[in-house]
Structure 1
Amino acid sequence: MTLFHKLAMVSAFALTAAGAEAAPVLRGDITVLNTVVTVADMFDEAGALAEKPIFSAPAPGTTGTVDLASIRAAAARVGIVSFEANGLSAINVTRAGATVDERTLTGLILSDLSGRGLMGPGVNATVRFSRFIDPVQVATSGVAVRLDQLRYASGGRDFTARFVLAGQNRVLDLSGTIDMTVDMPHLAANMPAGTILLPEHVVMRPVPASQADAFGYVPLDQLVGMSLNRQSREGMLLRASDISPPLAVSKNELVTIIYRRGPMTLTVKGQAITSASRGAGLQVLNLASKRVITATAVAPGTVEVTSGSVSLAGL
């Protein structure tokens, strides 16, 4: 073997040894997910010791500071005799955490009520706990909190609930009330009988869900264009019995009577004896013949007699 080959081999072995013995390099501030800080969390180039625990992690959602002397002592205990400090004198170790607060717990309760069919579409629920809930930081591994039990009777208000916090050997036992409401239409102002309802005449206000069915809910789109049956006050809850289709013909109103038979159309003047909405029947006096006939309101001021209901002579 030539001298050149010997030198090349020595250099290769030296490089291999240097690579194998490369010292771990201390990282800067770190964030961990678990209850312990491992060598791999703390150092780059951790090697075979990567999974070794070196410190206990702080509580979820908190940060602890570790000085360089403490790091050297802990590293020596797991077999790291030297490492590159990277110019650091201390590092901050943060434990990732999830916040469990009143909003989180309320969401779990509402989700459970919805899943059990106790809170249908259009129902709003307000959850009030009997005591203040201090926000809690829990581990981020897995589900932060789960609802273990909810006791609530349909139509009632009181509830009790048990929650299990992630990574903690404790539960939250809470109680409170749940108020369920449905937004229902109310009059925005005092209005006379016969008012044709427009969108601005109606405001939606909450009504206890347990009473909504008894009140007879009418959707807003079915109110607009309808007529008030009587004089009504501001804030009145609108029910199906409070409205009706607007009148096309009013009592004593002069009207045009239309009679069609085949290609022939006859019109005469008349006077309404009764009122009617579009499509409804009414009694009309033919002013020419002085006969009372039955007709159908087809438009404002216009009624129609079908060929089957009366003969031409009967007009």
Structure 2
Amino acid sequence: MKQVSFIHTADIHLDAPFSSLGDKEKADIRRQELENCLKNIIDRARIQNINLLIISGDFFEESCVRGSTLIGARNLFSELYETEVVIIPGNHDPLKENSYYNTLSWSDNVHILTDSNRVLFLEKFNTCIFNMGAVGRVVDDYSSLKEKSVSENTFNILVFHGTVNMPFEESNYNAIGSKEIFDLGMDYVALGHMHNYIRYQNEKCTVINPGSPEPMGFDEEGVHGFVQGNIVVTDKNTKFVEANFVPLNGRKYHNIELDVTGCKSNEEIIQKLSIDDNIDFLIRIYIALH
């Protein structure tokens, strides 16, 4: 094969509670939007005959996900006849004995990466999929990965749920540096965990965290989406990665500040907003009282 195509997403958080909304009906709407987001990604993979759909952790909320939600996702995956689905557990969907990763019967094209010592080789795409930190400590998985030989004759992808180039504190899940990742010799590293888009790159390797495809709260402003790309073998028998961010989110969060000096009632504050009712934004208003 001269190239392999992929869609890379992470942190979908199916069935997230959205308890901060304080309203069950609104929370149900947001949960449905997460399901719609996944369906849109799967539809794109099917229509464009994408080779790999990669989900880099936090696919669902383990504490409150409904079986019906994941059965629906499983059925959608099973219709991707040309696409292999690769999923790694994250900190919100950890691999437990009773996890749906273990108890649900997934279709043959779905590969859940649970063993960091095992390399998933997809022969029809000439692609090796590595993973790190799915179970256990990332430092141990990194050491074992360094001992593996990465072939120049295959496409090599690392799927990893954790933080990169952040202070190595306990609060930073699976923390590692970009230098250590670059040293592994991968073509593409599919990150997850952080809900914003992040990209690192050198002459041989591209490392991307796509962010959450649908924003989860007011700390996730701006455009959200996923990454779509190809790993290509050139005429000079070298490999390079084409990877682009694709906007997707149907909902946008914006924080605004409103000077309400002189306003004597909530009605006056609302009038001062002057926001078009057709704009599909969720807005939190920080009221500065003077």
The bucket for the TM-score relative to the shorter chain is under 0.3
- How high is the TM-score relative to the length of structure 2? 0.20
Rg bigger for which structure? 1
Q: Which has the higher strand share?
A: 1
